[in-house]
């Protein structure tokens, strides 16, 4: 089984407060209409790739709550409720709990520290946990314990210090290939993998998403798209300019698993 084979997904509708969400860089304010349009196109792409998508209602009290992969992780064996690094997002995990407990028998909770799901990359043989401003060493070690309960192996690595999350700079393309940036490639964490490096100036394109036979990729990165097509991947370009204004990418908008 490939770790990018999915038939189920959970997403959450954007809150009308989404434009007030957290951000590490000021790229201007997104519009609610623009965010909704990108989110709806994303959901259509997941369904076109063969996934049954459960759409949860918006949480107005949590502007960032449409980014469901930060407060939780899901696998075929179970789910993990995380403790996001931003205290303002901690309530998002509990809001997801009833839904995840309805799908999975095992839903351990991160007992200490903090972890954002954006710092977690699932590979065929292990789960990388990137230390960052949002994911602490204590949280990463606690997550390794939670993953062990699900029969998975966690490995702690260092995210690039000038990016928000590990997956801001990488994504899995197939069992042997990752899409990554030059700065993350230099860390050596992908030793043994074939690395497809995004062109300079298109670093944000590294946050692509492999879903079954498709690779979802940001529409505004033509040179990365060309490299993916040349490497034999079937791409689905999607608009991400609005979500990028609040530090988001394609991987964080859904929780995906093979039921």
- State how many domains the chain has: 1
The per-residue pLDDT for range 129-141, each reduced to its tens digit, is: 999 999 999 999 9
pLDDT recorded at residue 166: 97
In SS3 terms, the chain reads as CCCCCCCEEEEECCCCCHHHCCCCCCCCCCCHHHHHHHHHHHHHHHHHCCCEEEEECCCCCCCCCCCCCCCEEEECCEEEECCCCCHHHHHHHHHHHHHHHHHCCCCCECCCCCCCHHHEEECCCCEEEEECCCCCHHHHHHHHHHHHHCCCCEEEEECCCCCCCHHHCEEEEECCEEEECHHHHCCCCCCCCEEEECCCCCHHHHCCEEECCEEEEECCCHHHHHHHHHCCCCEEEECCCCHHHHCCCCHHHCEEECC
The per-residue pLDDT for range 163-221, each reduced to its tens digit, is: 889 999 999 999 999 999 999 999 999 999 999 999 999 999 999 999 999 999 999 99
Stretch 82-87: mean pLDDT = 94
The per-residue pLDDT for range 210-253, each reduced to its tens digit, is: 999 999 999 999 999 999 999 999 999 999 999 999 888 999 99
| Range in 15-29, 138-152, 170-184 with the lowest mean pLDDT | 15-29
Residue 124 — left, alpha, or beta (φ > 0 → left; ψ -120 to 50 → alpha)?
A: alpha
Query: At residue 256, does pLDDT exceed 60?
Result: yes
Instruction: Answer yes or no: is 3 within a domain.
Output: no
Instruction: Answer yes or no: is 82 within a domain.
Output: yes
Stretch 57-86: mean pLDDT = 97
Expressed as residue numbers, the domain containing 211 is 8-257
- Residues noted as catalytic: 165, 252
The per-residue pLDDT for range 32-41, each reduced to its tens digit, is: 999 999 999 9
| CB atoms inside a 10 Å sphere around CB 28 | 11
pLDDT recorded at residue 1: 54
Q: Give me the CATH number covering residue 183.
A: 3.75.10.10
Instruction: Answer yes or no: is 2 within a domain.
Output: no
Pair 217, 250: CB distance under 8 Å: yes
pLDDT recorded at residue 206: 97
> Model-level pTM?
0.96
The per-residue pLDDT for range 28-68, each reduced to its tens digit, is: 889 999 999 999 999 999 999 999 999 999 999 999 999 99
Instruction: Answer yes or no: is 46 within a domain.
Output: yes
How are strands ordered across the β-sheet holding 127-131? Answer: 120-122, 127-131, 154-158
Stretch 151-163: mean pLDDT = 92
**Which residues on adjacent β-strands are paired with residue 127?**
122, 154
Dist. CA 200–CA 158, nearest whole Å: 21
Instruction: Answer yes or no: is 1 within a domain.
Output: no
Dist. CA 52–CA 187, nearest whole Å: 37
pLDDT recorded at residue 26: 73
């Amino acid at each position: 089984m490939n770790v990018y084979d999915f038939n189920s997904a959970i997403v959450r509708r954007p809150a009308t407060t989404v434009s007030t969400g957290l951000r590490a860089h000021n790229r201007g304010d997104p519009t609610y209409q623009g965010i909704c349009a990108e989110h709806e196109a994303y959901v259509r792409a997941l369904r076109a790739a063969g996934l049954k998508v459960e759409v949860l209602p918006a949480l107005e009290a949590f502007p960032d709550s449409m980014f469901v992969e930060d407060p939780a992780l899901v696998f075929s064996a179970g789910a993990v409720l995380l403790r996001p690094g931003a205290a303002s997002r901690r309530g998002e995990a509990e809001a997801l709990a009833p839904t995840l407990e309805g799908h999975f028998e095992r839903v351990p909770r991160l007992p200490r520290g903090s972890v954002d799901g954006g710092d977690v990359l699932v590979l065929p043989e292990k789960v990388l946990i990137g230390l960052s401003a949002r994911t602490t060493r204590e949280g990463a070690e606690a997550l390794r314990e939670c993953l062990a309960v699900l029969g998975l192996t966690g490995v702690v690595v260092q995210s690039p210090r000038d990016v928000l999350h590990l997956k801001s700079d990488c994504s899995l393309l197939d069992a042997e290939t990752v899409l990554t940036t030059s700065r993350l490639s230099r860390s050596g964490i992908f030793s043994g993998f074939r690395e497809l490096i995004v062109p300079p100036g298109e670093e944000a394109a590294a946050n692509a998403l492999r879903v079954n036979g498709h690779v979802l990729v940001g529409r505004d990165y033509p040179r990365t798209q060309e490299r993916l097509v040349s490497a034999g991947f079937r791409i689905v370009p999607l608009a991400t300019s609005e979500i990028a204004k609040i530090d988001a990418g394609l991987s964080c908008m859904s929780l995906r698993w093979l039921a």
